[in-house]
Structure 1
Amino acid sequence: MNKKTIRLLKIIIPLFLGIFLIWYSLGSATPEERQQLWESILAADKTWVALSFLLGTLSHMSRAWRWQYMLEPMGYQAGFKNRFMAVMVAYLANFGIPRSGEVLRAVTLTTYDDIPFEKGFGTIISERVADLFILIAIVLVAIFLQTDDLLAYLHQQNINPLYTFLIFFGLVGIIILGLNLVRRSTWKPFAKIRKLAKGLLEGMRSILTMEKKWAFLGHTVFIWTMYVWMFYVIKFCLPETASVAAGSIMAAFVVGSFAVSATNGGIGVYPLAVAGILIFFGVPDHAAEAFGWISWATQTFVVLVFGGLSFILLPVLNNRK
C-alpha cells in the first residue's frame, strides 16, 4: 500500500465512520423517536443558539490574539486579521483532513507574513500544550462534580481510565526515545529532521520567553471559558435540559471534547457521545440527542461561516503578497 493510498484512507475512514454513526443512530430509532428528535431541534430557543455562536466566535478571536504573544519573542509580527483567518481556515481544514489544520495554519503565516513554517508550527504545538493543561483541569472539575456517576458510566461502558493514562505515557516515552535517536544519529536524513526540530523548539520555547505571560494565560483561560459557556448555554434551548445539573453538563462537555478528534470535526461521534452521557444522567433520549446535535451544529456553523470567508478573503486582502 503506497503513501498516497494511506493518506487517502486517513481522510475517508473517519468521514465514513461519522456518516455510518449518523445512519446507524437514526436508522435504529423508531419513526416516533426520529419525529420527536426533529421536533425538539425545531422547537429549540434560537436566542440561546445565537448566544452560543457569539461565544464560540469570541473564543476563536481570543486564540488569534493570543498567538501574537508567542510570535513576538522571535521577532515576528502578523496582523490580527491574518492570524484570525489562519485559525479559522485551520478549523475548517480539519473537517476535510483530521489534524491538517495546524499545518495549514502555520503555512498561512509563512505565505502571507514570511514567518518560517517550523517556527510558526512550534508556537502552535506550545499552544496545544497549554490548552491540554486547561482541558485536564476541566476534566478534574467534571470528575469532582460527578465522581460516582462518571465512574458508574465508565464501568457500564467497560472503559478503564487507567489504560488511557498508560497509553498516553507510553506514547510520550516513544517520542522521547525517537528524539534521542534522531539527535545522536549521523544519518543525513536525520540531519534535516534536526534542522526542522531546531526551528520547532525555538517556536515552542517562545512560550517561556514571551513578555506578556499573564496576558497569554488570561487568553487561554478565556478561550476555554468561552468553549464551556458555548456548550453550557445550549441546555437552555430545550425545556427538558434547562434544569440539568452543571456537573452533568461539564461531564458531557469533556466527553464531547474527546469525541471531536474521533472523526472529521466530530461528525456523527460528537452528538452521539454527548447524548449518551446526558441519557445516562436521566435526560430523555430525544432531548439528549437534540442537545448533542444543536451543540455540534452551532460549533460547526461558526467554523463554516468564518472558515469559508477566510479562505476567500486571505488571498484578496493579501493580494500584494
Structure 2
Amino acid sequence: MPKSLKTIINFTIFLAIGLGLIWLVTHNLTAQEKEDIISSFRKANYWLIIPVIFVGIASHWYRAVRWKLLMEPLGYHPSTMNTFFAVMVGYLANLAIPRLGEVTRCGIVARYEKIPAEKLVGTMIAERAVDMLVLMLLMLVTVALQLDTVGIFFTRNIWEPLQNKAGGSRTWVLAGILVLLVVLGFIAFRLIARSKFGDKIKGIFRGVWEGVLSIGKMQKKGWFIFLSLFIWVLYFTMMYLGFLCMEETRSLGVGAALSVLCFGSIGMIVTQGGIGAYQILVQQTLLLYGIHATTGYAFGWIVWLAQTLMVIVIGFASMIALPIYNKSNQAKSTE
C-alpha cells in the first residue's frame, strides 16, 4: 500500500471516530438541551481563557527543555528555541495526522541541529514513556483520593468490563495467538537479520535504543524528574484556571480538576486531536461532581478549542520562525 494512501486512510479513520462520537452525543439532544449548550457558550467568560493559553505555552516550553536533557548524554546540545519550535510544529502535525507529529519534530531537530534522527526517535520514545508513567500515577492518586466518586466510576465502567472481557476460554485463545505471533516473529526476525536490509534495521534500532538509554546516562536526573512532574502541574493549572470561565464550574476544586485532566488526557489519545472523545470524557467526568451534562459538554469544547487554537497559532508561527531563526544564527556564527 502506498505511504500516502495509508496516511489518508489513517487520517480518515481517526477523524471519522471523532466525528462519530460528536454525532452520538448531539443527534438525540432535545431542543432545550441544544439551547442550554448554546447558552453555556454565550455566558462563558472567554477573557479568563487567556491565562490558560499562557500556561499551556509554558508547558510546551518546558517540554522542549526536558527533551534537550535527553539529548545531552548523546553529546548533542541543541538550542531551546529549535526544540520548542519542533515541539509546537509536531503538535500541529498531530492535529492533521495521528503520530505524524513525533516524526515531524524529530525531522526538524535533525535538520537544524544535525542530530541523527534515529537517536532523536529514541529520546522521544523515552519521553513518551515517562509521560505515560506520570499519567498512570496521577490516575491512581486521583482514584485513591476520591474513592467515593471517581473510584466507584472507575471500577464500574473501566475495571469490571476489562475483567469480564478477559475471563473464560477467551483468555486461552488470546494467549495461544500471542505465543504463535511471538514464534512467527522470531523466525521472521532471524531471516531478516541475515540480510543487508536487516543490517540497516539493526542500525536504526541501535540508534533508538541509545536514545532511550539517555535517561540513565543524563547528569541532571533531578532536573529531568522535576520537569516531568512540573509539566503535569502546568496541565493541572490549565484545567483549574479553565473552571473559572464558567459560573457553574467555578466552585469545583482540586479533585475535579485532577479527574478532568486524567480522563480528558485519555480522550486526547483516542481520536484525531481529541475531537469528540475529549468532550465526552470531560462531560462524563463533570457529571460526577454535579455539573449538568450540557454544561459539561460545553466546557469540554471550550477547553479543547482553547488548546487547539493555541497549537494552530503557535505551530504555524513556529514553522515561519524556524528558517528565520536558524538563518540569523548562521549569519552570527560566520561573523
Fold match by TM threshold 0.5 = yes
Q: Distance in 1 between matches of 2:52 and 2:67?
A: 23
**Is 1:247 equivalent to 2:286 in the alignment?**
no
Which amino acid in 1 is paired with 2:30? Answer: T
Verify the 8 A CA contact 1:182 1:193 in the aligned structure 2: no
Q: Once the 2 structures are TM-superposed, how far is the Cα of residue 45 of structure 1 from its aligned partner? A: 2.4
1:109-258 equivalence runs, <5 A = 109-154=109-154, 157=157, 160=160, 162=162, 182=189, 185-258=193-266
Structure 1 equivalent of residue 33 of structure 2:
33
Q: Once the 2 structures are TM-superposed, how far is the Cα of residue 189 of structure 1 from its aligned partner? A: 2.7
Q: Could you tell which deviates more after superposition, 177-186 or 20-29? A: 177-186
Structure 2 equivalent of residue 107 of structure 1:
107
1:318 counterpart SS class? helix
1:115 counterpart SS class? coil
Which ranges in structure 1 are unaligned for 5 or more consecutive residues?
none
Q: Distance in 2 between matches of 1:30 and 1:11?
A: 31
Task: Report which of the two structures shows the higher radius of gyration computed on alpha carbons.
Answer: 2
Q: Once the 2 structures are TM-superposed, how far is the Cα of residue 147 of structure 1 from its aligned partner? A: 2.1
Structure 1 equivalent of residue 323 of structure 2:
315
Verify the 8 A CA contact 2:267 2:278 in the aligned structure 1: yes
Structure 2 equivalent of residue 75 of structure 1:
75
Structure 2 equivalent of residue 292 of structure 1:
300
Q: Once the 2 structures are TM-superposed, how far is the Cα of residue 24 of structure 1 from its aligned partner? A: 3.5
Structure 1 equivalent of residue 333 of structure 2:
none
2:213 counterpart SS class? helix
Q: Once the 2 structures are TM-superposed, how far is the Cα of residue 154 of structure 1 from its aligned partner? A: 4.0
Q: Distance in 1 between matches of 2:326 and 2:241?
A: 37
Aligned length: 318
What are the superposed Cα offsets for residues 51-89 of structure 1, whole Å, 9 maximum, x if unpaired?
111111110000111121111111112111111000001
Q: Once the 2 structures are TM-superposed, how far is the Cα of residue 318 of structure 1 from its aligned partner? A: 2.8
Q: Once the 2 structures are TM-superposed, how far is the Cα of residue 244 of structure 1 from its aligned partner? A: 2.5
Q: Structure 1 residues 144, 159: CA separation in 2 closer, same or farther (over 3 Å shift)?
A: closer
Q: Distance in 1 between matches of 2:186 and 2:234?
A: 36
Which ranges in structure 2 are unaligned for 5 or more consecutive residues?
331-335
Q: Once the 2 structures are TM-superposed, how far is the Cα of residue 202 of structure 1 from its aligned partner? A: 1.1
Q: Distance in 1 between matches of 2:266 and 2:141?
A: 16
Q: Could you tell which deviates more after superposition, 242-251 or 101-110? A: 242-251
The TM-score, its normalising length taken from structure 1, stands at 0.89
1:160 counterpart SS class? helix
Verify the 8 A CA contact 1:98 1:261 in the aligned structure 2: no
